[in-house]
Amino acid sequence: MKDLVAFSISALALAESVIATTQAGSTVTTPLGSFELTKGAACACSKLSRAYSGIISPKSANYTAQAVNAYWDVRADLSPACIFLPSTADEISKALEIFQSCDAQFAVRGGGHMNYPGSNNIDGGVLMALEKFVKVKVNAESVEVGPGLTWYDVYEALEPYGRAAIGGRLKTIGVPGLSLIGGFHYFNNKYGYAMDNVLSYDVVLGNGTQVMANKTSHPDLFWALKGGANNYGIVTKFTLKTYDIPKVSTTIQVFNESGIPEFLTAVCNIVKLDDEDPIAAGMVATVQYNATTKVASASLLGVQEGISKPPSQFANFSDIPATTRINNVTTMKQWASSLDTPKQMFRVMFSHKTMKPDQDVLISIYKAWKDAVDEIADVEGLYPTFVTNVAPASAARVALTNGVGNVWGLEAEPYILWQFSTGWALAQDDLRIEAWSRQLIERLNAINVEKGLASDFIYMGDAGEWQDPFAGFPGENVARMRKIKSSYDPLGVFSRLNWGGFKLSV
């Protein structure tokens, strides 16, 4: 009996010791490499281990699932000192108090789709992943969702009620990241961006205090969270507006190289539509180019509210000879279910700029991109995509007229966001791809600047880590964001300790 007790005690001590007795300065080995444990991380990991069970250390069986497999871009795989999966806002409050008292660096992960290292993961610090926040509550005209959910989860929960929310266009994008940076959805042209449809945020501030931010409670923070990303606090619940949209009319169209100029022309025409009472409709519009086979193609994934088949707003695309064209009437859930974006497919660099719609220039940009891809055809696993996103005047008008606004402050003008999304296989090509992508996009944007077509607007969801989205927001909005930041995060917890992502300089 005595032996048994002694044994249990030592077993317990051993289990705790995995993290608790790991000293600052010792070398920690992870599946991706090794690092020297800092004082802050040693302190935070041991305090978390004492407060909660289930803290994942680099030795835990679940470490790789959390530090690697949960990320979309292979570049985002890093080696945290320990991983905490909180289940309640109180646990997040407590963790933030620990990070502060230990001066420990940390990262926060929602859906794990932000694609660059440090935005949602951390080497040698604490990773807090929100996957346990999966509550959904459907109300008559809103839905309350946890930051551990994907947009597919939200569409699935709303389907039985015939309601739709304004979120991500593909299946597994996370609710929190997309809502906090803006949110391009098919129906922006009528209902605004995802951020414009958040009615209330439950937030844990840097000092652990929990607040609700909405039109009547902390309205300044409410505004700042509409596009202000991870600069203000950790959101533990989003309350989103929903709409009566039981059915959607969809179209999948693929065009060969001969159709690409007409395809890009149709993109320029659809963004210019500005009906007083718009039909909600939008798309994912991409051009793919295979530098080995020299084959280029374009694809349209279009969705429109209602049941008119084929969807009327895509008529200009439907006039182009296509190699594939599938029209359907379905639900948002059913549509999203087939649009998975598998994690860990490749390393990816984004680069993006914004312009006024001009078909001739857009076509010349596409051609210059395709020629430039040929110069890097030898890169292993090359996966180049030219992406366009549309920001019609009517989408911006929602924030201009809803009495709340957002940090973007976009004027009611049509814009096209054009992006190079470049995938590749090997870390040794990281610097080459970044240099290629940056130089190309800056050179082509300079032509737009000269022609008076360029806008400084940069969307965080399409940008490379080297870009500065805040420089493209109106100066007075950035000044207001800084003021709000200094009152809600006076200690700089979300700049100094949680430093990854697009950070507002203070």
Ligand X SMILES: *[C@@H]1O[C@H](CO)[C@@H](O)[C@H](O)[C@H]1NC(C)=O
Ligand Y SMILES: Cc1cc2nc3c(=O)[nH]c(=O)nc-3n(C[C@H](O)[C@H](O)[C@H](O)COP(=O)(O)OP(=O)(O)OC[C@H]3O[C@@H](n4cnc5c(N)ncnc54)[C@H](O)[C@@H]3O)c2cc1C
Q: Is residue 501 within the footprint of ligand Y (CB under 6 A)?
A: yes
- DSSP conformation letters of 468-496: -GGGGS-HHHHHHHHHHHHHH-TT-IIII
| Options 34-42, 152-160, 206-214, 392-400: segment touching ligand X (CB under 6 A) | 206-214
Binding test (CB under 6 A) with ligand X, winner from 100, 316, 318, 359: 316
Are 82 and 49 in contact by the 8 Å Cβ rule? The answer is: yes
Please work out, in degrees rounded to the nearest 5, the angle formed at the alpha carbon of residue 269 by the alpha carbons of 267 and 273: 115
Which region among 29-37, 111-119, 410-418, 444-452 touches ligand Y (by CB under 6 A)? 111-119
CA 200/CA 217 separation, integer angstroms: 9
Residue 488 contact among ligand Y, ligand X, none, beta carbon within 5 to 8 Å by kind = ligand X
Say which entry of ligand X, ligand Y, none residue 192 contacts (CB below 5 to 8 A, set by partner kind). none
Other C-beta atoms closer than 10 Å to the C-beta of 423 total 18
Question: Minimal distance in Å, beta carbon 218 to ligand Y?
Answer: 15
Q: Which residue shows structure tokens 């844990």? A: 204
Alpha-carbon 128 to chain mean position: 17
Residue 130 interacts with ligand X (CB under 6 A): yes or no: no
* 334 lines the binding site for ligand X (CB under 6 A): yes
**Residues 6+ away with beta carbon under 8 Å from 445:** 353, 355, 454
Binding segment (CB under 6 A) for ligand Y, from list 104-112, 243-251, 464-472, 475-483 = 104-112
Residues between 149 and 168 that touch ligand Y (CB under 6 A): 168
Beta bridge partners of 251: 302, 327
Compute the least distance from the CB of residue 328 to ligand X, in Å. 4
85, 143, 154, 235: which one binds ligand Y (CB under 6 A) = 235
Q: Which two tokens stand for residue 344?
A: 């860990």
Binder of ligand Y out of 75, 94, 113, 343 (CB under 6 A): 113
Exposure of 476 by Cβ count < 10 A (0-12 exposed, 13-18 middle, 19+ buried)?
Answer: exposed
Taking CB under 6 A as the rule, does residue 239 contact ligand Y? no
Indicate the Cα dihedral angle 471, 474, 476, 478, nearest 10°. Answer: -40
Only segment of 113-121, 286-294, 392-400, 401-409 that touches ligand Y (CB under 6 A): 113-121
Using rule CB under 6 A, residue 188 touches ligand Y: no
Q: Report the C-alpha gap between 67 and 54 in whole angstroms.
A: 15
Torsion of CA 484, 123, 127, 200, to 10 degrees: 30
* Distance, first Cα to last Cα, the chain: 61
Region 406-465 residues binding ligand Y, contact defined as CB under 6 A:
461
Regarding 488 and contact with ligand Y (CB under 6 A), the answer is no
Which residue is it, tokens 């999203």? 336
119 contacts ligand Y (rule: CB under 6 A):
yes
Q: Which of residues 28-67 bind ligand Y (CB under 6 A)?
A: none
Among 22, 236, 313, 421, binds ligand X (CB under 6 A): 313
Spatial separation of the C-alpha atoms in residues 93 and 87, rounded to whole Å: 11
Is the previous residue joined to 58 through a cis bond, with omega within 30 degrees of 0? no
Segment near ligand Y (CB under 6 A), from 25-33, 169-177, 405-413, 430-438? 169-177
Q: How far is the CB of 471 from ligand X (least distance, A)?
A: 26
Does 221 bind ligand Y (CB under 6 A)? Our answer is no
d(CA 222, CA 422): 35
Structure tokens belonging to residue 422? 């470049």
Whether 147 and 236 have beta carbons less than 8 Å apart is answered as: yes
**Side chain identity at 62, as an amino acid letter?**
N
Looking at the Cβ atoms of 207 and 344, the one nearer to ligand X is 207
Q: How many binding residues for ligand Y (CB under 6 A)?
A: 32
Out of 64, 87, 330, 359, point to the residue binding ligand X (CB under 6 A).
330
If the CB atoms of residues 273 and 447 are measured against ligand X, the closer one turns out to be 273
List Cβ neighbours of 490 (8 Å cut-off, separation of 6 or more): none
The contact set with ligand X (CB under 6 A) reads: 54, 56, 62, 85, 199-200, 205, 207, 209, 212, 214, 216-217, 239, 256-258, 269-270, 273, 290, 292-293, 313, 315-316, 321, 323, 326, 328, 330-331, 334, 383, 487-488, 490
The contact set with ligand Y (CB under 6 A) reads: 72, 108-115, 119-120, 130, 147, 168-170, 173-174, 176-178, 180-184, 230, 234-235, 341, 461, 501
